[in-house]
Structure 1
Amino acid sequence: MTSNLKDRSSGALPRPAVGTAVLAEFRRTPLLALIVFVPVVILLEQTVPEAHTWLFLLSVAAIVPLAALLSRATEAVAARTGDTIGGLLNATLGNLTELVISFAALQAGQYLLVKASLAGAIVTNTLFMLGGAFLLGGFKHHLQEFNRVSARFQACLLFLATIAILVPSVISEVDRAPAAAFSQKLSLGLAILLIAVYGLGMLFSLRTHRELFAAVGHADEDEKPWPLSVSIVVLIVVTLLVALVSEIFVGSVQIAAEHLGMTPAFVGFIIVALVGGAAEMTTAFSAARANRLDLSVGIALGSAAQIALFVAPVLVLVSYFVGPEPMSLQFWPGAVAMMLVATMAATLLSNGGRAAWYMGVMALATYAIFGMTLFLLPPATPL
């Protein structure tokens, strides 16, 4: 009798627990309220496919909560699989929103949008997210500390990836005759090299020298991860929804950008990067306010390193099977310059292991300079 009651009680617990967890998640992440735009944009695309401006705006609003759910589910899965597998999952799924959007643009042959979104995500994470964390955290805390060894390591990975992007871009300017064929072959080799370097970097930071990357005396938040089964279901369902909404976004972006006075380069560099990283930014800013700057710096620089060393090379490899033609790592000179400056700025800002609010002002001002430049003077030729 006791066992039957126990079985009944154990079987009845998950339903209210799940409902409570859902309500708590919406209170913790207000961005999830935008989830109502997901069915709206899908329905609008079926009924009024020529309303490109509205489809663009609604798809942007719909991607934000989906990105938040993806980030939360990824954290929950990684928390239950250990550091090594969790690190691999974060590398694969941490920037899944940007990857899916770029994959949809890749299929459509919009290589300028793909490259602009990749460069924009790197610059946005290293300047806007890191600067915002320094600024918001500095408003509440006079001086904050973080693990400078971990920050330097991520900045070095970013610098390496930027050099790998710089080389094919410079070579194409020096010798134009074999530029296309040579750039594609070089990009393929560099993509494989960068993925290998990133894999070894995870081995170094998560296994052989993980004691160097410990947080500087800040405890983790007391937050229970989702059940593994719930996390996996959320990952699958939300990934499908992101893919569907991303197709709508890519299909409407060109005409909508013209109507709104924006170029695909600006949309990719600024809009896609901010939308795709909205969930991570929320976590980074909240952590900085809670005096957990190690987490904020790790999210900002770690996410940028993932994009530079993992997402971009994967898209180069995938383009051989999906895109109209293979995509290279050749970016327009302005994008390369912005990535180099952003990497140097992140290195300088994180070098001391301490942060104050004015450091955030400097990073955000640099990002604003890039945004205004791209909006007013976009690149003339798509690469």
Structure 2
Amino acid sequence: MGNLGEPPSAVPSLSVGKAIAEEVRQAPILALIIFVPVVIVLERTMADAHTLLFIMSVVAIVPLAALLSRATEAVASRTGDAVGGLLSATLGNLTELVISLAALHAGQYLLVKASLAGAIVTNTLFMLGGSFLLGGLRHHVQQFNRINARFQAGMLFLATIAILVPSLISEADQPPAPEVSQTLSLGLAILLIVVYALGMLFSLRTHRELFTSVSHAAEEEKPWPLALGIGVLVIVTLLVALVSEIFVGSVQAAAENLGMTPAFVGFIVVALVGAAAEMTTAFSAARANRLDLSVSIALGSAAQIALFVAPVLVLVSYFVGPEPMTLQFWRGAVTMMVVATVGAALLSNGGRGVWYAGVMALALYGIFAFTLFVLPPASPS
């Protein structure tokens, strides 16, 4: 009876407050969410401060990506394997997809392609290598499901070959007309999406027993309620779209002021920012001796970008871009993607991870990043 004078909303508000505090405690990266309103206000009041807007928008996207990842897990965990897998394919790399859509609408195709190539290389080298290194420093030898790793690496290799073909024909003695490249890219995009859908059917339905984890660590954190997950997903997606527009609008001038090219920004900065949430999960899992989860996140995300996100952007470009986008990348990007894919396949072939393997993967990523910084590529046609 002593609680009759307490407002009805006090207890729920307290519970929500505790839940938010617990989320921030478990993932301190979420504290950066304060930069979201900051960058929105700055864009209204200091529209010409491109460098400041660029830096603030990069920082703001990181916690939004983390929230998207948590919300996607919550929704996917409540819908079963098949639907959950489809949701993961659609939403798992939503941050990169939204940023790329904003750049696509602005006609910045070099930034779009650089971010796609960078995301593939970042996941296969930086995220995978970092997981091997951090996990190996705590655990002498770690094991993971090499069948799953080979499957993801195989899908990724197929996608890189599909990207390699239109890029190679553009280097021929008599390159085809732009219409031919667009038609080829459109057909390949549809083919890759079909292959990815069949890959999900194979791994989630017909042969899912092959993809069970070999680790025996503690279970993952409890997902959010479905209603909360859907609500956060909708709100955060809108915020990501808003911040992405600010990012794309400021990236060109900011890159010039900071001595970077749009290709470097897309290949390194956008890829690292977009994968920040997944990296946090992968690195934490590796430290907890759950390298299986880390490898699955790294290779699965890379395959998802190559087989799903890139083809979807090709299809969407017919409606939102100034002209259709092709799968024709510049020669250096194709080389880096192929080398990264082969490197990931070699790292994951044995089903065991040690820290020095991570050092080699990170060193290869550093070579690519430094080379791209000092020798920017020419804009692809």
TM-score by length of 1: 0.96
Counterpart of 2:295?
297
Question: What corresponds to 1:337 in structure 2?
Answer: 335
Q: Give the aligned length.
A: 377
Distance 1:196 1:210 in 2: 19
Alignment of 1:153-302 (within 5 A): 153-302=151-300
User: How far apart, CA to CA, are the structure 2 residues paired with 1:222 and 1:159?
Assistant: 30
One-letter code aligned to 2:238: L
Inter-partner Cα distance in structure 1 for 2:174 and 2:328: 13
CA deviation string 1:148-204 (max 9, x = no partner): 000000000000000000000001111444241111000000000000000000000
* Greater shift in the superposed pair: 46-55 or 210-219: 210-219
**Map 1:20-35 → 2, pairs under 5 A:** 20-35=18-33
Partner secondary structure for residue 250 of structure 1: helix
For structure 2, which runs of at least 5 residues remain unmatched after alignment?
Answer: none
Is the partner of 1:374 in helix, strand or coil? Answer: helix
Write out per-residue CA displacement over residues 253-312 of structure 1, whole angstroms, 9 at most, x where no aligned residue: 000000000000000000000000000000000000000001000000000000000000
Q: Is the contact made by 2:215 and 2:292 (CA closer than 8 Å) also made in structure 1? A: no
For residues 376 and 215 of structure 1, what CA distance do their matches in structure 2 show?
41
Question: Within 1, Cα distance between the matches of 2:314 and 2:340?
Answer: 23
Task: Tell me if the contact between 1:162 and 1:336 (Cα under 8 Å) persists in the aligned partners.
Answer: yes
Quick one: distance in 2 between partners of 1:169 and 1:382?
9
Q: For 1:242 and 1:120, how far apart are their aligned partners in 2? A: 19
Cα distance per residue 1:187-245 (max 9 Å; x no partner): 00000000000000000000000000000042452521111111101000000000000
| Deviation for aligned residue 1:13 | 6.4
Q: Structure 1's 222 and 262: CA in aligned 2 closer, same or farther, altered over 3 A?
A: closer
Note the alpha carbon deviations across 1:115-152, whole angstroms, 9 max, x for none: 00000000000000000000000010000000000000
Distance (whole Å) between structure 2 residues aligned to residue 382 and residue 228 of structure 1: 43
Identity across aligned pairs (percent)? 78
Secondary structure in structure 2 of the residue aligned to 1:320: helix
Work out the CA distance in 1 between the residues paired with 2:177 and 2:98. 29
- Equivalent pair of 1:152/1:351 in contact (CA under 8 Å): yes
Alignment match, 2:324: 326
User: Paired residue for 2:132?
Assistant: 134
Deviation track 1:40-73 (CA, whole Å, cap 9, x = no partner) reads 1100100110000000000000000000000011
| Alpha carbons of structure 1 residues 186 and 220: separation in structure 2 relative to 1, 3 Å | farther
Which residue, out of 84, 90, 114, partners 1:92? Answer: 90
Instruction: State how far apart, in whole Å, the 2-side matches of 1:382 and 1:198 are.
Output: 26
1:14 deviation in Å?
4.6
Task: Provide the rounded CA distance (Å) in 2 between the counterparts of 1:65 and 1:73.
Answer: 12
Q: Is the contact between residue 139 and residue 289 of structure 2 (CA under 8 Å) also seen in structure 1?
A: yes
Deviates more, 1:142-151 or 1:172-181: 172-181
| Partner SS state of residue 173, structure 1 | coil
| Aligned partners of 1:172 and 1:179 also within 8 Å | no
Q: For residues 194 and 54 of structure 2, what CA distance do their matches in structure 1 show? A: 36
CA contact (8 A) 1:97 1:242 kept: yes
In structure 2, give the amino acid aligned to 1:213.
Answer: F
Question: CA distance change for structure 1 residues 27 and 124 in 2, over 3 Å: closer, same or farther?
Answer: same
Cα 1:339–1:221 change in 2 (3 A) is same
Distance 1:179 1:169 in 2: 13
Does the CA contact (< 8 Å) of 1:171 and 1:179 recur in 2?
A: no
Matches within 5 A, 1:32-111: 32-111=30-109
Tell whether the 8 Å contact from 2:215 to 2:291 is kept in structure 1 after alignment. no
Superposition map of 1:334-373 within 5 A: 334-373=332-371
Q: More deviation in 166-175 or 188-197?
A: 166-175
* Alpha-carbon distance, 1:22 to partner: 1.1
Distance 2:136 2:35 in 1: 34
Alignment RMSD, CA only?
A: 1.6
**Aligned-pair distance for 1:12?**
8.0
The 1:179–1:368 alpha-carbon spacing in structure 2 relative to 1, beyond 3 Å, is farther
SS at match of 1:321: helix
User: 2:104·2:321 contact (CA, 8 Å) conserved in 1?
Assistant: yes
Give the letter for the 2:59 counterpart. A
Displacement of 1:82: 1.0
Partner of 2:147: 149
Which amino acid in 1 is paired with 2:231? Answer: V
Residues in 1 aligned to 2:59 and 2:205: alpha-carbon distance in whole angstroms:
39
The counterpart of 1:309, out of the listed 283, 307, 310, is 307
Is residue 165–residue 336 contact of structure 1 (8 Å, CA) maintained in 2? yes
Distance 1:15 1:200, change over 3 A: same
Q: Quick one: which amino acid aligns to residue 110 of structure 1?
A: Q
CA contact (8 A) 2:110 2:379 kept: no
**How far apart are 1:88 and its partner, in Å?**
0.5
Secondary structure at 1:252 match in 2: helix
Counterparts of 2:20 and 2:218 in 1: how far apart (Å)?
A: 22
